[in-house]
Amino acid sequence: MTSPIRFIVLLMLLMGCAKLKSTTQSEELTPYIKRLKTDYFIITGEQLNTRIPMSIKELDSGKGAICHKEKGLMNSTKEIFVNRSIFERHKDSYDYITTIILHEVGHCIYGFEHDTSVMKMGNVDVPTSIMHESALRTIPLMNELKEYYYKEFSERVKLKNLRLLK
């Protein structure tokens, strides 16, 4: 039979390995997240879930951001990392940073995969979704198509929620 002390030590080790889910956000990202949530609400009439840790970190990949997933012994955690060099280069453009954040929120919170479809806009093929695998291609379109992209994202969320209810 195991002694109570061994049990307590084992329990403390297990709890120490489990990560508490944090919803802290980098102060540098706070104004972009607020702007994203405000614009999203104005356009769609819906609240955007951004309850996930977000921070700025130098990323090797050259990507704008990533949804980092880590599986622990007791649970798993997700966090959004915005690439520091991309952030520094584009921090004066709310559309640039909020597009990156919304794309990663799509992955981390809603579980959306990349989309590869495009639509014609004049003579150019443009992504049909902010979840396009080359999401940064949507950034130059945000002045003209922000309403379209936010509503398209909102429809994805509604469809996912409907599937979960069934």
Please report the pLDDT score of residue 3 as a whole number: 60
Q: What is the pTM of this model?
A: 0.81
What single DSSP character describes residue 125? Answer: E
Please report the pLDDT score of residue 16 as a whole number: 43
The DSSP bridge partners found for residue 79 are 68
Please report the pLDDT score of residue 9 as a whole number: 44
SS3 of residue 79 by DSSP: strand
Tens digit of each residue's pLDDT (9 = 90 or more) over 68-127 = 988 877 777 899 999 999 999 999 999 999 999 999 999 999 999 999 999 998 898 999
Residue ranges of the domains in the chain? Answer: 21-165
Tokens of 87: 């952030």
